[in-house]
């Protein structure tokens, strides 16, 4: 049945979705190394990358996400606004375990995200199936992290911002266009790859980060992305498109026809 099949993919853990897209060689290169976390793996990945993100396998809204760092002989991690420092890996790990409680976690290579006015940002790229069931990139929107936080999610204080606004201080006009094209292609390729193992999938919200060399990284693929989020953009045509596709996919209720409103002037003219 269609609805139960959709439920399966919607409830897939970040781990299963990651394993699915790693099967595609083109997409694989854009996924930061991701593992199921245990003490040994966190230690190894930290040694390799100096900075990693750890997150619940089944989290949303940036909840439970932590940024872990290793300097020369010092260890630290940040969750929400609080950064904690330690002088050994094991004392840090004990503290992390208390914070993560019993939830299974993933470790992921940390991406040094580009910043806008000193705040990290990433990009949500919406990819939806069209009426011919083909994938199409329908809209993208930047999300700027709260100045003291390590996640960009709206529910964690992130600010929705047009991608152009974020990239303008960094690149010139022609390159801006190129980056937008790349982001769109990465979202499209990722959605397509995920749908190979999940054919019933019809919307993907890809969280894509850019590092300081402007390389795109697939941070997460959301299989139940919020189409209304695009309403934050001043350019209303983007939300209109995303919402019309979502409506066609029956992911949101049909649009209500607007009740007729008469301005005072037309009222007086009519009477």
- Determine the Cα–Cα distance for residues 59 and 220; give it in Å rounded to an integer: 11
Closer CB to Mg ion, 75 or 229, in the complex = 229
Judged by CB under 5 A, which stretch of 79-87, 93-101, 201-209, 223-231 contacts Mg ion? Answer: 201-209
Tokens of 63: 């909840």
Closer CB to Mg ion, 205 or 233, in the complex = 205
Residue selected from 9, 21, 46, 65 as contacting ligand ADP according to rule CB under 6 A:
65
Residue selected from 42, 92, 113, 243 as contacting ligand ADP according to rule CB under 6 A:
113
- Determine the Cα–Cα distance for residues 55 and 52; give it in Å rounded to an integer: 10
Tell me which residue of 165, 127, 153 sits closest to 64, measured CA to CA: 153
Radius of gyration of the chain (CA): 21
Number of residues lying near ligand ADP (CB under 6 A): 22
Q: Give the distance, in angstroms, between the CA of residue 134 and the centroid of all CA atoms in the same chain.
A: 22
Residue selected from 128, 220, 225, 229 as contacting Mg ion according to rule CB under 5 A:
220
Closer CB to Mg ion, 189 or 207, in the complex = 207
- Whether the CB-CB separation of 128 and 202 falls below 8 Å is answered with yes
- Whether the CB-CB separation of 120 and 110 falls below 8 Å is answered with no
> Which spans in 82-153 are helix H?
89-100
Cross-strand partners of 69: 51, 76
Residue selected from 59, 104, 157, 160 as contacting ligand ADP according to rule CB under 6 A:
59
Q: Give the distance, in angstroms, between the CA of residue 174 and the centroid of all CA atoms in the same chain.
A: 25
Residue 32 touching ligand ADP (CB under 6 A): yes
For 250, counting Cβ atoms within 10 Å of its Cβ (0-12 exposed, 13-18 middle, 19+ buried), the class is: exposed
Cross-strand partners of 50: none
Judged by CB under 6 A, which stretch of 93-101, 148-156, 171-179, 180-188 contacts ligand ADP? Answer: 148-156
Closer CB to ligand ADP, 145 or 238, in the complex = 145
Residue selected from 31, 66, 107, 108 as contacting ligand ADP according to rule CB under 6 A:
108
Residue 57 touching Mg ion (CB under 5 A): no
Closer CB to Mg ion, 59 or 104, in the complex = 59
Judged by CB under 6 A, which stretch of 70-78, 93-101, 110-118, 193-201 contacts ligand ADP? Answer: 110-118
Helix (H) / strand (E) containing 128: strand 119-129
Tokens of 202: 């019809």
Smallest distance from Mg ion to CB 34, Å: 13
Contacts with ligand ADP by CB under 6 A lie at: 32, 53, 55, 59-63, 65, 108-111, 113, 122, 151-153, 207, 209, 219-220
Contacts with Mg ion by CB under 5 A lie at: 207, 220
């Amino acid at each position: 049945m269609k609805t139960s099949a959709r439920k399966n993919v919607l409830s897939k853990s970040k781990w299963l979705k990651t394993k699915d897209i790693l099967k595609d060689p083109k997409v694989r290169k854009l996924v930061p190394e991701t593992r199921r976390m245990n003490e040994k793996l966190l230690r190894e990945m930290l040694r390799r990358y100096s900075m990693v993100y750890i997150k619940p396998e089944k989290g949303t809204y940036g909840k439970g996400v932590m940024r872990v760092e290793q300097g020369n002989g010092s260890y630290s991690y940040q969750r929400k606004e609080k950064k904690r420092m330690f002088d050994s890996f094991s004392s840090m790990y004990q503290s992390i375990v208390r914070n993560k409680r019993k939830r299974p976690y993933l470790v992921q290579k940390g991406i040094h995200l580009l910043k806008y006015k000193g705040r990290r940002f990433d990009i949500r790229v919406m990819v939806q199936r069209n009426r011919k069931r083909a994938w199409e990139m329908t809209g993208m929107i930047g999300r700027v992290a709260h100045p003291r936080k390590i996640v960009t999610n709206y529910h964690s204080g992130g600010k929705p911002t047009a991608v152009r606004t974020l990239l303008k201080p960094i690149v010139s006009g022609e390159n801006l266009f190129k980056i937008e094209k790349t982001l769109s292609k990465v979202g499209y390729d990722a959605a397509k790859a995920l749908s190979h193992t999940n054919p019933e999938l019809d919307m993907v919200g890809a969280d894509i980060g850019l590092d300081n060399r402007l390389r795109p990284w697939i941070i997460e693929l959301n299989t139940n992305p919020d189409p209304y989020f695009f309403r934050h953009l001043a350019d209303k045509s983007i939300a209109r498109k995303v919402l019309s596709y979502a409506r066609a996919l029956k992911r949101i209720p049909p649009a209500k026809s607007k009740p007729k409103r008469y301005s005072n002037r037309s009222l007086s003219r009519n009477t």
